[in-house]
Amino acid sequence: MPIGHKHANPPVVQEPLWDHPQTRELAKRACFNCHSNETAWPWYSRVAPISWLTDRDVKRGRSHLNFSEWNKSHPLDDEITDQIESDRMPLWFYLPMHPEARLKPDEKAALITGIENSLKAR
């Protein structure tokens, strides 16, 4: 039996003060599915055993960094940008099913700079 076939996203409580709409859009493309309360649950997230893995990955992602609950604790600025810069995020196995999350070098640089600028504002 699939788990979480009725996925409900928790409400968005507080996002970072984004430096620019482009920063938020890049973060949404590359990060929000696992690191926000705005997860887009694809059809396969309702089919076992993939549903189990998807549910686990989203829960883990949100527990490490949640752009929708910025008022709670979150990683240090350099931890976030280091994950992106070193290609540890997005996870390699996420990208084949979510090609929109694969950022071009200039988009990746813009996201890193934008996150750095956004987090300075807090």
pLDDT exceeds 80 at position 20: yes
pLDDT at 47: 87
Provide the residue range defining the domain that includes 62. Answer: 21-120
Residue 81 lies in a domain: yes
Q: Is residue 77 part of a domain?
A: yes
**pLDDT band for position 21 (50/70/90)?**
very high
Q: Is there a domain that residue 47 lies in? A: yes
Sequence-distant (6+) residues with CB within 8 A of 30 are: 84, 89, 90, 101, 102, 103, 111
Contact 26, 114 (CB under 8 A): yes
Asked if residue 33 is part of any domain, the answer here is: yes
Render pLDDT for 64-117 as a digit per residue (tens, 0 to 9). 999 999 988 777 778 999 999 999 999 999 999 999 999 999 999 999 999 999
Residue 121 has pLDDT above 80, yes or no: no
- How does residue 3 score in pLDDT terms, banded at 50, 70 and 90? low
Neighbours of 50 (CB within 10 A): 15
Q: How many domains does the chain have?
A: 1
SS3 label, residue 104: coil
35-50: per-residue pLDDT in tens?
A: 999 999 999 888 888 8
Q: Does residue 115 fall inside a structural domain?
A: yes
How far apart are alpha carbons 36 and 112 in whole angstroms?
17
Indicate the range of 3-12, 30-39, 51-60 predicted with least confidence: 3-12
